[in-house]
Structure 1
Amino acid sequence: MAPIVLDAVTLRRVIVGFHGGLADHRQVIDNLNVYPVPDGDTGTNMTLTMKSVVESLDGVADDLDPLCTALAHGALMGARGNSGVILAQILRGVSGVLRDSAVAGSVPDAPVVARALAAASDGAYSAVARPVEGTILTVIREASESAQAAAAAGGGLTEVFDAARERGYDALERTPEMLAVLAEAGVVDAGGAGLLLLFDACLAEIDGRPMPEAPELSAAPAPAAVASEARPVEESSIADLRYEVMFLLDAPDPSVDGFKAAWQEIGDSIVVVGGDGIWNCHIHTDDIGAAIEAGIAVGRPHRIQITDLLDQAAEHSESFEAPDQLLSLDDASSAPAVQITEADQCSVVAVGAGAGVVEILMSMGANRVVAGGQSMNPSTAELLAAVDSLPTGHVVVLPNNKNIIPVAEQVDGETERTVCVVPTRSVVEGIASLLAFSPGATAAQNSEAMADAAESVTPGEVTQAVRDASSSAGPITTGDWLGIGPDGIAAVESDAAAAATALLSTIIDDDHELLTVLTGTDADAATTEAIVGHVAEHHPDVEVEVTEGGQPLYPYYFGLE
């Protein structure tokens, strides 16, 4: 009997099955969100990423060469959020080895698949300058190690995927021991949980096993049981490094390791992704000249963009599922039309959800608004479509959400336009940044000025807990109201008004003069009046402006200036 191989027909079925498995388990994976708020996003982002991959395979012949090429491109273009970007890198690694084996005439058997999983792990790690264990990276690395061992021992494809799956689930169970934030939240890593469904899909196709009806995830150990062993999450140095430098780099593949080593000496938040002579490079640094010179030393940097970074604390990832939608000026009749003239060379694409939020963004200068944020992380393809719909050669993108930033950063490499991303992590920052937008300036000039404007805003938000958890603000019970500031959960209360006022008491300081309140679909007049009254009584020098935003899930967004 001939050995089982991962041919094109089987690979296509695996991809379709993986997407179906993610769709079935999306909500469970979303619920592994570290924050107990109704915006767990990993399951949704991975599902939508794979939806784009499946669609990219339509019409492609059952041949590994074109199929793997389409798979890699579909993953890149459809990647949503951090989890989607990492998943795209994993799929790119797998597809690259399978494609090369097909071109060389090799059979995609167990040893080839094991090498493909190793390439997937290497690709995922190489894309992140300072990988953190206890994440999807750990799961793919350990799974690939066991897959290689099984292949080396003479195992077939079934044994390879069995070994990868078993080791992967074991690694997933141990993620809270590696990351204190997971242990404190009582969850395992969501990205790793989603990835393991890939191995389930593989075994379903080659061995006839049914996909699991529920994720085979045991509860994470109680926080107290692992807190002493948990390693701290590596903190980003964004607050200490002023500039974001991004460019495409034409350079030979062997030279890139030296290039990354040079960057390690001058900055942080380093991501270098690509291959075959073209690389997308990103760094936070204080030395712009050295960052660019490192590229010149190995090749040709181009499409250089420099942004003056925001001094922001990390905030939690946000998303929810919503219909794919591109909102333009024609879709918002109540928003003043922002006409693009021949003298203009730059436009703005913003991300937002809620009729009021969209109207505000467009009235202040956004030319296109892509639906997303708390409810959905738009894909690279959706952002690209918005960018390419504009007539200007320069475009600024406002992600308005931490989790959308890495997706937005992919757009520049996929268009002839010059695209700069202002790393806005909230809607209120995006609104503030538009005050500094000039249609006659370049994207780079605008992004620097707009980042400065966004830096002047302190964001906050109120939402309701969807599960029990612990936090630095105290224990959280399902249904509690949470006040979330730049440093995370700042207040846990029994009602929205109490959470809002407690949050504002922690983030308002003597320098603040204006509080903007964007009310969501779940806001009510009594709570809004209580918030306004609290500020008037305790912070009489702060003016309050209340505007209807219409955003779901979060009754209140706050912006302090």
Structure 2
Amino acid sequence: MEDKGHVLLKLLSTYARILEAYRDRIDRLNVFPVPDGDTGTNMFFTIRSAVDVIDAQSGSEQSQSGSAGRFKEISKGALLGARGNSGVIMSQVVAAFCSVFGAHSDQPVTAKDVESALEEANTRSRGAVLRPVEGTILTVISDVAKRAKSLGENLDLGDFVRGLFDEAQASLERTPSLLAPLARANVVDSGGAGFVLFVAGLCRILSNGDFDWGTDRPFLFESRVPGPTRSKEDDFVAPSESHELGPRYEVMFILESHDENVMVNFREVWAGLGDSIVVVGQDGTYNCHIHTDDIGGSIEAGIAGGLLSRIRVTDLFEEIAEERWVVEAHGAGAPDPFSAETDVIPNTAVVVIANGDGIRRIFRSMGVHRIVQGGQSMNPSTEEILLAIEEVPGDNVIVLPNNTNVTPVAQIAAEISKKCVRVIPTRGVVEGLSALVEFDPMVSIDENFESMSECAKRVTVAEITQAVRDYSDESGLVHAGDFIGLSRQGLVAVSKSLEDTVVDTIGKLLEDDSEIVTIIEGEGSTSAITREITQWLNINFPEIEVELHHGAQPLYPYLIGIE
């Protein structure tokens, strides 16, 4: 058996590869059937940050597995790179294994080492969460830690870790019975699923080849409990406005503070601002996570406690995973082939956030000065938007975030910038395009802000996408593979036919005074379907003008705007 140091390095590298392969499936374990989660992606980048430290250490004096401080650096890498609630918790699992396996790292791994690491992981992860909730990744970690203790350290190591893997799967399958939203959505906990894959990686390393991933693969995405049923004949209705969805925003940042009393006060302030609070630290560096409706108060509490960096705000109600963007997008603020270049210094410049080659070309043609590439769940950081603001010509800048997920981050960038920056909270690409109709670079920022804001408000927007799993609640019945139309009020239409879904969505959103319908084609659209949609509009609503654009946006075959 290899020594603990090398086993840990192999475990983290193996886990990163497993997460990379399965992160999209974990992302889809959500309470709504669109491809709108990022738990798997967050966990992958958390572990990837630890592996990056390992790679950077390779060839250095610290490349010896027993070098002092090596495992502490790996642990801190996971901490600083942690994203999302599950990512922060997973960074504590990494910290626990680094602590236990890093001690006497030149000695062989034993079942007792694994038991101790899991016990410490359970203690660290629960200690980091202000109000632990059962039915989440915390429960799966606890159950596996308890199982490790009951199995006993005298069991063969391979049998020991396979027993842990069996318990991890069983615990994951129980999560819907412990957490009502999971039961209603008919899914298991996504963070727990990510931890099951960690235990699978442990089995791969410690089973001496006896763990067959092809045979023993956990049916993570087949585990379901009976969900609520609804007749196909039932009408689709918008979700009740009184339905409590919890805090709207996820706020994360790195806080530098070496005063424990300050951190105690910080935790107390946050306790009154939201939930899903996770604060974990090492050597005065803390990764802080909260779900809240008070973005400003949450950030101000951090400023009062120390130095902030890596501020990240996500709108949980609008979170949409755009996996391809994670791979393809280059840093915002870098030279952008779609940005407008001009020698004239405008009175007002515009920065937009957009994804899709066609959409960026449209924005460029409308005089936008800088385009920050970004999507929804993987929204650009404050620093990226700030860099774009600073690079555009002139001292007055309007930002069009084109997504409620990005708006809070853009507002923070506006506050930090020394320029005069105004953010128009456009909720989608169509609103952004509509606002730009009124843009005049040679008039004042106040005039532009007023006219562009009014124009954006006049647009009704809808998105057409495809459900990734079955779903049923008061909004309607959806099956995996169905095309669904979503407006700001919720589910509007559903059908097996993409064309029927688009037509039904437009028909339900048209008003007596509607004049223009804008259709933006994305990936998955076809010229034949687009032609049928436009013909339907021309026949049934001849007075309405139809504008057609090719946006090439991922995940959404059609974006709709009605003015």
> What CA deviation, in whole Å up to 9, does each residue of 1:415-436 have, x standing for no partner?
9999999997754466678899
1:57 & 1:306 partners in 2: Cα distance? Answer: 25
Q: Which residue of 2 aligns with 1:261?
A: 268
2:127 & 2:439 partners in 1: Cα distance? Answer: 37
Q: Which residue of 1 aligns with 2:70?
A: 66
- Matched to 1:546, the amino acid is L
CA 131–70 in structure 1, closer or farther in 2 if over 3 Å, else same: same
- Matched to 1:235, the amino acid is L
Q: Which residue of 2 aligns with 1:14?
A: 11
CA 181–272 in structure 1, closer or farther in 2 if over 3 Å, else same: same
1:174 deviates by 1.6
Query: Is the counterpart of residue 174 in structure 1 residue 174 in structure 2?
Result: yes
CA 347–427 in structure 1, closer or farther in 2 if over 3 Å, else same: closer
Query: Is the counterpart of residue 134 in structure 1 residue 138 in structure 2?
Result: no
CA 417–10 in structure 1, closer or farther in 2 if over 3 Å, else same: farther
1:211 deviates by 5.2
1:245 & 1:508 partners in 2: Cα distance? Answer: 39
- Matched to 2:93, the amino acid is V
CA 476–390 in structure 1, closer or farther in 2 if over 3 Å, else same: closer
> What CA deviation, in whole Å up to 9, does each residue of 1:237-284 have, x standing for no partner?
44xx9x989895746345434433334435567665655445557674
Structure 1, unaligned runs of 5 or more:
440-445
Q: 1:348-363 residue pairs with structure 2 within 5 A?
A: 348=351, 350-352=353-355, 354-362=356-364
- Matched to 1:318, the amino acid is A
Q: Which residue of 2 aligns with 1:96?
A: 95
Query: Is the counterpart of residue 252 in structure 1 residue 256 in structure 2?
Result: no
1:450 & 1:155 partners in 2: Cα distance? Answer: 69
1:306 & 1:53 partners in 2: Cα distance? Answer: 20
Query: Is the counterpart of residue 235 in structure 1 residue 242 in structure 2?
Result: no
- Matched to 2:173, the amino acid is E
1:276 & 1:451 partners in 2: Cα distance? Answer: 46
1:113 deviates by 0.9
Q: Which residue of 2 aligns with 1:520?
A: 522
1:405 & 1:417 partners in 2: Cα distance? Answer: 19
- Matched to 1:236, the amino acid is G
Describe the SS at the equivalent of 1:326: coil
Assess if the C-alpha contact under 8 Å between 2:100 and 2:117 holds in 1.
no
1:59 deviates by 3.4
Describe the SS at the equivalent of 2:523: coil
Q: 1:90-129 residue pairs with structure 2 within 5 A?
A: 90-99=89-98, 109-110=113-114, 112-122=116-126, 125-126=129-130
> What CA deviation, in whole Å up to 9, does each residue of 1:8-54 have, x standing for no partner?
21111001211232344456545645544566755555445544543
Describe the SS at the equivalent of 1:552: coil
Q: Which residue of 2 aligns with 1:201?
A: 201
2:344 & 2:464 partners in 1: Cα distance? Answer: 36
Q: Which residue of 2 aligns with 1:318?
A: 321
CA 495–204 in structure 1, closer or farther in 2 if over 3 Å, else same: closer
Q: Which residue of 2 aligns with 1:299?
A: 305
1:557 deviates by 1.2
Describe the SS at the equivalent of 1:460: strand
- TM normalised by structure 1 equals 0.69
Q: Which residue of 2 aligns with 1:493?
A: 495
Assess if the C-alpha contact under 8 Å between 1:329 and 1:335 holds in 2.
no
Aligned length: 522
1:424 & 1:270 partners in 2: Cα distance? Answer: 29
1:455 & 1:262 partners in 2: Cα distance? Answer: 36
Q: Which residue of 1 aligns with 2:445?
A: none
CA 180–424 in structure 1, closer or farther in 2 if over 3 Å, else same: farther
Name which of 522, 543, 548 aligns with 2:550. Answer: 548
CA 424–256 in structure 1, closer or farther in 2 if over 3 Å, else same: farther
Structure 2, unaligned runs of 5 or more:
58-62, 231-241, 442-447
Assess if the C-alpha contact under 8 Å between 1:515 and 1:543 holds in 2.
yes
CA 102–399 in structure 1, closer or farther in 2 if over 3 Å, else same: farther
Assess if the C-alpha contact under 8 Å between 2:318 and 2:405 holds in 1.
no
1:233 & 1:217 partners in 2: Cα distance? Answer: 32
CA 182–94 in structure 1, closer or farther in 2 if over 3 Å, else same: closer
2:162 & 2:25 partners in 1: Cα distance? Answer: 23
Query: Is the counterpart of residue 336 in structure 1 residue 340 in structure 2?
Result: yes
Farther off after superposition, 312-321 or 172-181: 312-321
Q: Which residue of 2 aligns with 1:482?
A: 484
Q: 1:439-518 residue pairs with structure 2 within 5 A?
A: 458-470=460-472, 472=474, 474-507=476-509, 515-518=517-520
Q: Which residue of 2 aligns with 1:443?
A: none
CA 390–75 in structure 1, closer or farther in 2 if over 3 Å, else same: farther
Assess if the C-alpha contact under 8 Å between 2:8 and 2:98 holds in 1.
no
CA 368–8 in structure 1, closer or farther in 2 if over 3 Å, else same: farther
Q: Percent identity?
A: 30
Q: 1:2-41 residue pairs with structure 2 within 5 A?
A: 7-26=4-23, 28-29=25-26, 32=29, 34-37=31-34
Assess if the C-alpha contact under 8 Å between 2:185 and 2:227 holds in 1.
no
1:245 & 1:197 partners in 2: Cα distance? Answer: 25
1:220 deviates by 3.0
Assess if the C-alpha contact under 8 Å between 1:357 and 1:549 holds in 2.
yes
Describe the SS at the equivalent of 2:559: strand
CA 269–198 in structure 1, closer or farther in 2 if over 3 Å, else same: closer
Q: Which residue of 2 aligns with 1:442?
A: none
Describe the SS at the equivalent of 1:199: helix
Describe the SS at the equivalent of 1:321: helix
Q: CA RMSD in A?
A: 5.6
Describe the SS at the equivalent of 2:141: helix
- Matched to 1:199, the amino acid is V
- Matched to 2:553, the amino acid is Q
1:350 & 1:16 partners in 2: Cα distance? Answer: 34
1:319 & 1:191 partners in 2: Cα distance? Answer: 19
Farther off after superposition, 169-178 or 17-26: 17-26
CA 207–343 in structure 1, closer or farther in 2 if over 3 Å, else same: farther
1:93 deviates by 1.3
2:336 & 2:358 partners in 1: Cα distance? Answer: 10
1:89 deviates by 1.4
- Matched to 1:17, the amino acid is T
CA 551–185 in structure 1, closer or farther in 2 if over 3 Å, else same: same
Name which of 370, 373, 376 aligns with 1:370. Answer: 373
Assess if the C-alpha contact under 8 Å between 1:176 and 1:182 holds in 2.
yes
Assess if the C-alpha contact under 8 Å between 2:339 and 2:370 holds in 1.
no
CA 110–169 in structure 1, closer or farther in 2 if over 3 Å, else same: same
1:46 & 1:286 partners in 2: Cα distance? Answer: 25
2:93 & 2:494 partners in 1: Cα distance? Answer: 44
CA 11–23 in structure 1, closer or farther in 2 if over 3 Å, else same: same
> What CA deviation, in whole Å up to 9, does each residue of 1:439-473 have, x standing for no partner?
9xxxxxx99x9999987765421123455554655
2:513 & 2:277 partners in 1: Cα distance? Answer: 34
> What CA deviation, in whole Å up to 9, does each residue of 1:137-160 have, x standing for no partner?
43334334444x459988897687
| Structure with the greater alpha carbon radius of gyration | 2
CA 293–67 in structure 1, closer or farther in 2 if over 3 Å, else same: closer
